Amino acid sequence: MNVDQLPARERPEFKIVCSDCGGLSIKVADPANCPVTTLVECRRCGAVRGTVGALQDLARRSADLFEF
């Protein structure tokens, strides 16, 4: 199933730490101009970590500190 097919309330949160390799870096083809449904991948192993929209939501609700 594609992330786009899930209802908004069932979409997974953005994974800050990759659950496959533990990496923190991400890659997105064109982050400034891509749709919110674009998948964000782990730069290290290529696993899907979430969507651009989920990453934007995380950025909007974040404070000065992150808790891991």
Report how many domains make up the chain.
Answer: 1
The answer to whether residue 3 is domain-embedded is no
3-state secondary structure of 14: coil
What is the residue range of 24's domain?
14-60
In a domain, 36, yes or no: yes
**23 occurs within a structural domain:** yes
| Position 39 in a domain | yes
- The per-residue pLDDT for range 29-48, each reduced to its tens digit, is 887 889 999 999 999 999 99
25 belongs to a structural domain: yes
pLDDT for the residue 59: 82
Q: Is the pTM of this model over 0.85?
A: no
* pLDDT mean by block of 10 residues, the chain; 68 residues: 52 83 91 89 93 87 61
pLDDT for 1 equals 42
Domain assignment present for residue 20? The answer is: yes
Q: 24-28 contacts: CB < 8 A, separation 24 or more?
A: 26/55, 28/52
